[in-house]
Amino acid sequence: MSSRVQRSRRRKSTPSRAATEFQRKFIRAFLLLIGITLVIIFIFGDHGVYQLVRLKQERKVTQAAITQLREERKQLEDEKYKLETDLDYTEQLARERYRMAKKGEKVFKVIPKEDDN
């Protein structure tokens, strides 16, 4: 009789085939869900691929702006130097921008002809 009890205990201790199949499906679904979650975090997270690409583009735009500002600064420094040292250049600017003239000179303003298109 002890052998029957042992057999019945063994049968009860092993899960049924349906339960084992359910566990396998549950584990697969759970792992799939974890995998999908990790992929989403990897792509769209704070340190994800999408953020990395966006930051690289932003850096490129910023570098271009810095380069442009450096060139503009160089031109302005050159202009400042000319204004401080070159009297002919200063005189030319005064004549062109402010229509200044020496004593005895006449300033003529040329008005462009309008097109009748």
Distances, alpha carbon 69 to alpha carbons 62, 72, 75, in Å = 10, 5, 10
Q: Where do the structural domains in the chain lie, given as residue ranges? A: 63-103
pTM reported for the whole predicted model: 0.52
Amino acid code (one letter) for 16? S
Do 89 and 83 form a contact (C-beta atoms < 8 A)?
yes
Cα 93 from Cα 86, distance rounded (Å): 11
Do 53 and 43 form a contact (C-beta atoms < 8 A)?
no
Contacts of 43 (CB under 8 A, 6+ apart): 49, 50
Q: Give the per-residue pLDDT at 95.
A: 85
What is the pLDDT averaged over residues 74-86? Answer: 96
Q: Give the per-residue pLDDT at 31.
A: 96
Q: How many CB atoms lie within 10 A of CB 35?
A: 10
Q: pLDDT band at 14, cuts 50/70/90? A: low
pLDDT at 8 over 70: no
Mean pLDDT score across all residues of the chain: 85
